[in-house]
Amino acid sequence: MLSLIASLTFPIMRLACGLAYTSLLTVLAQVGAAQGLWRAGRAQGLRALWKGNLTACLRLGPYSALQLAAYRRFVVLFTDDLGHISQWHAIMAGSLAGMVATIATYPTDVIKTRLIVQNRLEPSYKGILHAFYTIYHQEGFLALYRGVSSTVLGTIPFSAGSLFVYINLDKIWREPSSHFTPLQNFINGCLAAGVAQTLSFPFETVKRKMQAQSPYLPNYGGVDVHFTGMIDCFRQTVKHRGVLGLWSGLTASLLKVVPYFSIMFSTFEFCKRVCLYRNGYIESPLSYKLTPGVDQSLQPQELQELKLLRRGNLEPRKLQAKETHS
């Protein structure tokens, strides 16, 4: 059920939050086709700011469902005999789940990039299906996975950045994580997403260049450098645009990624508190104050059975007290 909700919610969130224009600006800056939102708008028109957004929305549904399903599997794999999982293992589970979902839906990401970089006046692709068909028949099946190696390698600094932030949250706020407010959780999500995205962004840039470059597109897809593979793409980008060229489009990317992941993180934390409250572990969903007299090591089903057992023991005592008074 959670996977189904996510698969329906995330595309709606993308449309509602208007994240499409930042995606277009990021991709164009990464491949070197344009710099600046207004410049991109003048060159291709206002409607062009939403190029590839439908593909991204269609991708988010199966991506989110696969990610959550895989995450649950990895959490079970990394959980110890006592039912506990460390922060490192939780982040690893999230990274591996994201990797599985990315690889499974990667062709749609390639198509999104191609739709964005193509010339609006002389488009090479008429739509999503035509782009898929054309890429497959002109360049082969592996072209739909061009740049996936850079994506996989990018999960390493992304996970390291997330872990670095999370293990230092107690020091940043000078209080235990159990006392964090919803606002603090929102800020924590912003910090984690900002650091992780910044560290992994060079791999994202190389991935976009590899996705966009094609001998079948005008000007090789508008990519500013020509290369023969991932390592050569790093080398040519640094040679022609400098080291900072690997971070082209970072600002636009952060405008999308930071609020997106911070909302997801704070929503997840609040939902977790609601579940703990409904199962009787905490007194209120607005705080982590533990319910007095509740064994926190018990599973939810065990806790419910204990409540029923205690309730059953109390009812005979009430009947006996009534009979005594009567």
Question: Does a structural domain hold residue 265?
Answer: no
Highest mean pLDDT range out of 146-150, 168-172, 216-220? 146-150
Q: What is the mean pLDDT of residues 67-76?
A: 86
Angle formed by the axes of helices 87-117 and 128-139, to 10°? 90
State pTM to two decimals.
0.78
Report the share of the chain in percent with pLDDT over 70: 80
Domain range holding 311? 295-324
- DSSP lists the bridge partners of residue 290 as 282
- Characterise 32 by phi-psi region: left (phi > 0), alpha (psi -120 to 50), beta (else): left
The CA-atom distances, in angstroms, between 26 and each of 45, 289, 316 are: 17, 43, 68
Q: Are 40 and 82 in contact (CB under 8 A)?
A: no
3-state secondary structure of 161: helix
Question: Does a structural domain hold residue 267?
Answer: no
Where does the pLDDT of residue 231 fall: very low under 50, low under 70, confident under 90, or very high at 90 and above? very high
Where does the pLDDT of residue 12 fall: very low under 50, low under 70, confident under 90, or very high at 90 and above? very low
**CA atoms within 13 A of residue 264's CA, in its CB half-sphere:** 16
Single-letter residue type at 287: S
Whether residue 183 is predicted with pLDDT greater than 60 in this model: the reply is yes
Question: Does a structural domain hold residue 279?
Answer: no
Q: How many helices (H) and strands (E) does the chain have?
A: 12, 0
Question: Does a structural domain hold residue 314?
Answer: yes
- DSSP lists the bridge partners of residue 203 as none
d(CA 131, CA 308): 60
Tally the domains of the chain. Answer: 1
Burial 285-317 (b: 16+ CB within 10 A, else e): beebeeeeebeeeeeeeebeeeeeeeeeeeeee
d(CA 218, CA 221): 6
Please give the pLDDT value at position 3. Answer: 45
- Closest among 187, 188, 182 to 166, alpha carbons compared: 188
5-11 long-range Cβ contacts below 8 angstroms, 24+ apart: 6/64, 6/65, 6/67, 6/68, 7/60, 7/61, 7/62, 7/64, 7/65, 8/61, 9/64, 10/60, 10/61, 10/63, 10/64, 11/57, 11/58, 11/60, 11/61
Question: Does a structural domain hold residue 135?
Answer: no
Whether residue 16 is predicted with pLDDT greater than 60 in this model: the reply is no
pLDDT digits (tens, 9 = 90+) for 87-125: 778 778 888 888 899 999 999 999 999 988 887 778 889
Question: Does a structural domain hold residue 300?
Answer: yes
Question: Does a structural domain hold residue 119?
Answer: no
Question: Does a structural domain hold residue 138?
Answer: no
